[in-house]
Structures are given as C-alpha cells and as structure tokens.
C-alpha cells in the first residue's frame, strides 16, 4: 500500500489543486488495492468517505498520506476485531468443539491442528469423525490423528453422522477427555441437507463451541457463506484457512463483520504446524502489505523474556552482536524454529528452503559462534571484525564452524542494525508529525 501511495504521487506538488488531485489518486489506488484483496466494495466506499472527512483541508501531502494510512489501517483492524472474548476451553471440563464449513474448506486439517495446539497445552484431546458423507473422510482423519498421536473415533460401517458423533463423544466423555473435537462433513454448496445434518448433530452433542472453517481463497463469497452458516449453526469462532496462497483474505473482514464472530486461528499451509493464533493488526498489515518493520517491532516487543535491553537498544537505533545473541537464544526456546526463522527479515532467505532439522542445526551453530565471541566483540556494532579480520578466524575455530558462517552472522547483524537505525529515523519523523485531525 505504501508503495502504491508513493507511486501514485510522484510528480511535483505545489498548489491546493495538486494536493487535492494527488489525494484523489491515492484514494483510487487504495480502493483498487483493497478490492483486489477481496475487501467488500461497500466497505471500501465507506472507508473513502471516512478518510475524506478526516483529511479536512490539510495542505501538507506528507501529513495527509500518513492520515490516510492510519485511517485505513485502524478502520480495517477495528472491523476484524470483534472485541469479544474468544473461546477459551477450560481444562478439567468436557469441552466439546464442533467444526462446520463447506467441503474443502479445511475442516479436517484444521481439526487436527486445533487438537495438536491444545494437546501441547496439556489438554487430553480426542477427535471424532462425523463425516460419513464423503468416502475416505474417516481415513483422512485417522491418518492425521495418528501422525499427531491424537486418539480418534470413527466408523467405516455406520452411515448416520448423528449416531457416530454421539458414540464418539460418549466414548471420550467416559474416558474423561478435556476436549472432544467433532469433525463434520461439508457439501460443495450450501445445501439444505447439510444444514439439517448440522442442526441435528448440534442438538445431539450440544457443543461447548462451534467453529466455522472458512477458506480465504473464496474471496467475496465469504460474506454470504458465513451468513448462511451462522443462521443454522450459531458458531462462536472462525478459523480462516489457506492464507499461505494467493488469497489476501479481505473477504474475511466481511465475514467477521456480518456475523460479529471473531477469527481465532489462521491456517497457513497443509502441515500441522502451519497454524497461528489470529492477530487483527498483523492480519491487516499483511493484507495491506505494510512493511515488515512494524511486524518485526511487534515481534521484538512481544517476546517478553528478559530482553528489555534489546528492545531499548533497537529503539535507540542500535543492535549489537550481543543483542543478536540474546535474540537467538530466545528463538531457540520458542520453536517451531523454521517458522520463526521465516518471520525474521532476511533469516528466511538465509536459511533457504531447508527442513526443520537443518534449520535448527544452523541456528545452533549460530549460537555456538556467538558463544565464542569475547564480551568486547559482543558489545560492539560488529565493525571490530572488519578492522581486525583475524578475529573471524579465531571465532570460527573456537566454535567449530567456518569463517564463512561467522561472516554470515556479521552480515545479518549489520542488516538488523541498519534496520534498527531505519526504524529509529521513522519513529523520529513520526514523532514530529502533528497528531491526527
Ligand atoms: P474439509 O473438506 O473441510 O475437511 O477440508 P480438508 O481439511 O480435507 O482440506 C481440503 C484441502 O485443503 C486439503 O488438501 C488440505 O491439505 C488443504 N488445506 C487445508 N488447510 C489449508 C491451509 O491452511 N493451507 C493450504 N495451503 N491448504 C490447506
Ligand atoms: Mg473433511
């Protein structure tokens, strides 16, 4: 978005007319970008009106640009943020969670991811396959569950989904499971049969929570689909899937708005670990393509380990090797490593498309390297290695790695240091800007 706005106004701006027409171009560009990301046209028009009312007669184009960006961002965030308390299962209780959604939306996949998420948090979780509609549905769930080591229930012979869900829930209830997840079937279209089946299962198992799984790639159709589902199964949460593809997920904004139901997780791939808790700000940032910087800042801030100094340094525009070392150590504790690595600018590329194990391995070697540095080196901005290159060899030898690997780390730390500087100057210029209208 930022790029679009900048491209839209590259000519010289001198008069009020110039400013006005530049703003018109910006608004058009933004509108086009949002609609391309599947944001509802009506929403876009509302947004434009809102922006215009906030700009007033300000003549400073730079200030206007920032106001526009801020209004667009804040408005979209508030649309996907329902401010309701999202579903939190309670340990020691029987939480029955029912999954609904169209065929292919990603129910079975998300069920397993959801199960793993809570199993890792100490819940005793069981999966029930109530999809008797599609051939192979039980096998799919069985395969997923086995891989993730989660107990499951299903039947090859029983064709009544209501009976299967009841039997499965009863079985796990008796065995004192904390969470029983029921995967239901879907149809290609929103069909009366499907909704009838959903209602009957709902009345039989009386779920604590119903989750609708929504495929981000269906675009604008998300709105009507969610509405139809909401009418027959009063779901309390949404899981948005396939955000790893081309879909930007703008349709989901309308789905949330029209059902007033929060998104709780997003699916970002076919594998079990491709599952993240939903965060309105980062979702909208991605949708708008706003710089990774902000995301990085939030990420640095969200790591509330003992890294206060690192954050402070970063905000002062500094990032030493010592900061880098601390960050690496934190990352090692967080796992799954490869995903975290991808989230850090430059790191993903550096790690290349290697597997989890290899990534962990490389990260470990990075930690070894930094462990072999002296305090003086760690506290430095890294240029000490440029001035005295023999230090590189010493560190490589001490850590059992190569000079090349040491240089890679230095390069990366320099990149982060540059980023810290860049962020600081951005913050400084923002601090100097007049506060909103
Ligand atoms: P269901 O019919 O609703 O149960 O959908 P499935 O769970 O069987 O998923 C349908 C297809 O979408 C499968 O090929 C999944 O691997 C794929 N899928 C599910 N979630 C995601 C996701 O977040 N990203 C991607 N790329 N594929 C997904
Ligand atoms: Mg399924």
pLDDT: which is higher, 8 or 405: 405
What is the structure's pLDDT at 220? 87
Dist. CA 183–CA 91, nearest whole Å: 21
Q: Grade residue 12 by pLDDT with cuts at 50, 70 and 90.
A: very low
- CA of 109, closest atom in ligand 1: 7
| CATH 1.20.120, the chain: domain bounds | 2-80
Task: Compute the distance from residue 122 Cα to the ligand 2 centre, in Å.
Answer: 25
217, HSE (Cβ side, Cα atoms, 13 Å): 13
Domain 292-431 is in which class? mainly alpha
Does 109 contact ligand 1 (Cβ within 6 A)?
yes
What is the structure's pLDDT at 341? 56
pLDDT, tens digit (0-9, with 9 covering 90-100), for 170-181? 999 999 999 999
What is the structure's pLDDT at 193? 85
Note if the pTM is more than 0.80: no
Is the CB of residue 199 less than 8 Å from the CB of residue 146? no
| Angstrom distances, CA of residue 45 to CA of 34, 37, 223 | 11, 15, 17
Task: Compute the distance from residue 131 Cα to the ligand 2 centre, in Å.
Answer: 7
10 Å Cβ neighbour count for 321? 24
Q: Of 209-218, 288-297, 393-402, which one has max mean pLDDT?
A: 209-218
Output phi, psi for 123, to 5 deg.
-85, 150
Task: Return the structure tokens found at 185.
Answer: 């079937």
- Ligand (nearest to CA of 104): 1
pLDDT, tens digit (0-9, with 9 covering 90-100), for 265-285? 999 999 998 999 998 988 887
Q: Is 206 left (phi over 0), alpha (psi -120 to 50) or beta?
A: left
Average pLDDT over residues 126-131: 96
What is the structure's pLDDT at 299? 46
**Thinking of the domain 2-80, which architecture would CATH place it in?**
Up-down Bundle (1.20)
What is the structure's pLDDT at 437? 43
Does 133 contact ligand 1 (Cβ within 6 A)?
no
Task: Compute the distance from residue 257 Cα to the ligand 1 centre, in Å.
Answer: 24
pLDDT, tens digit (0-9, with 9 covering 90-100), for 364-388? 788 889 888 999 999 998 999 999 9
Dist. CA 63–CA 324, nearest whole Å: 35
Q: Determine the residue of 103, 106, 113 to mutate for testing ligand 1's pocket, defined as the one with the most ligand atoms within 8 A of the Cβ atom.
A: 106
Q: What is the mean pLDDT of the chain?
A: 82
**In the predicted structure, residue 70 carries a pLDDT above the cut 90:** no
Does 101 contact ligand 1 (Cβ within 6 A)?
yes
86, HSE (Cβ side, Cα atoms, 13 Å): 16
| CATH 3.40.50.300, the chain: domain bounds | 95-288
Using a pLDDT cut of 90, give the percent of the chain over it.
39
Dist. CA 355–CA 404, nearest whole Å: 21
pLDDT, tens digit (0-9, with 9 covering 90-100), for 143-171? 999 999 999 999 999 999 999 999 999 99
Residue 238: closest CA among 257, 217, 266, 218: 266
Does 242 contact ligand 1 (Cβ within 6 A)?
yes
What is the structure's pLDDT at 301? 44
**In the predicted structure, residue 5 carries a pLDDT above the cut 60:** no
Task: Compute the distance from residue 81 Cα to the ligand 1 centre, in Å.
Answer: 25
**In the predicted structure, residue 36 carries a pLDDT above the cut 60:** yes
What is the structure's pLDDT at 29? 76
- CA of 275, closest atom in ligand 1: 23
**In the predicted structure, residue 194 carries a pLDDT above the cut 90:** no
Give the chain's radius of gyration (CA, Å).
Answer: 26
Does 106 contact ligand 1 (Cβ within 6 A)?
yes
Q: Does the interface ipTM go beyond 0.85? A: yes
| CATH 1.10.260.30, the chain: domain bounds | 292-431
Task: Compute the distance from residue 184 Cα to the ligand 2 centre, in Å.
Answer: 7
Task: Compute the distance from residue 161 Cα to the ligand 2 centre, in Å.
Answer: 13
Residue 264: closest CA among 135, 388, 110: 110
Average pLDDT over residues 179-200: 88
Does 250 contact ligand 1 (Cβ within 6 A)?
no
pLDDT, tens digit (0-9, with 9 covering 90-100), for 343-368? 554 555 555 556 667 767 777 788 88
* Torsion angle of C-alpha atoms 262, 91, 229, 198, degrees rounded to 10: 180
Homologous superfamily in CATH for domain 95-288 = P-loop containing nucleotide triphosphate hydrolases (3.40.50.300)
- Ligand (nearest to CA of 241): 1
């Amino acid at each position: 978005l930022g790029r679009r706005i900048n491209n839209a106004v590259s000519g010289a701006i001198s008069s009020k007319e110039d400013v006005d027409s530049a703003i018109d171009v910006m608004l058009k560009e933004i509108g086009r970008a949002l609609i391309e990301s599947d944001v509802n046209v009506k929403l876009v028009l509302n947004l434009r009106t809102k922006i215009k009312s906030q700009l007033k007669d300000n003549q400073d184009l730079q200030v206007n640009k920032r106001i526009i960006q801020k209004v667009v961002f804040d408005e979209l965030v508030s649309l996907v943020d329902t401010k309701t308390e999202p579903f939190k299962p309670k340990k020691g209780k029987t939480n029955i969670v029912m999954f609904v959604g169209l065929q292919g939306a990603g129910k079975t996949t998300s069920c397993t991811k959801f199960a793993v998420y809570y199993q890792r948090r100490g819940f005793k979780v069981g999966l029930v396959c109530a999809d008797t509609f599609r051939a192979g549905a039980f096998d799919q769930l069985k395969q997923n569950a086995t891989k993730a080591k989660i107990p499951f229930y299903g039947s090859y012979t029983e064709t009544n989904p209501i009976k299967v869900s009841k039997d499965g829930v009863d079985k796990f209830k008796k065995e004192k499971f904390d969470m029983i997840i029921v995967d239901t079937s879907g149809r290609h279209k929103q069909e009366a049969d499907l909704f009838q089946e959903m209602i009957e299962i709902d009345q039989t198992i009386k779920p604590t929570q119903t989750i609708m799984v929504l495929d981000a790639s269906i675009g604008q159709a998300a709105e009507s689909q969610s509405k139809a589902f909401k009418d027959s199964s009063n779901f309390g949460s949404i899981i948005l899937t396939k955000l790893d593809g081309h879909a930007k997920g703008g349709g989901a904004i309308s789905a949330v708005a029209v059902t007033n139901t929060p998104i709780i997780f997003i699916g970002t791939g076919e594998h079990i670990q491709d599952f993240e808790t939903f965060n309105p700000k980062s979702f909208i940032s991605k949708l708008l393509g706003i710089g990774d910087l902000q995301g990085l800042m939030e990420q640095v801030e969200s790591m509330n380990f003992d890294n206060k100094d690192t954050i402070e340094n970063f905000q002062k525009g500094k990032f030493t090797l010592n900061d880098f070392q601390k960050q690496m150590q934190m990352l090692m504790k967080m796992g799954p490593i490869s995903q975290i690595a991808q989230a850090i600018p430059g790191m993903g590329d550096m790690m290349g498309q290697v597997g989890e194990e290899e990534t962990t391995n490389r990260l470990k070697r990075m930690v070894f390297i930094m462990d072999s540095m002296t305090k003086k080196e760690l506290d430095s901005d890294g240029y000490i290695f440029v001035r005295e290159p023999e230090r590189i060899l010493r560190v490589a030898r001490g850590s059992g790695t190569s000079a090349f690997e040491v240089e890679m780390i230095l390069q990366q730390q320099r990149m982060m240091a540059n980023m810290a500087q860049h962020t600081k100057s951005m913050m400084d210029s923002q601090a100097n800007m007049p506060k909103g209208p």
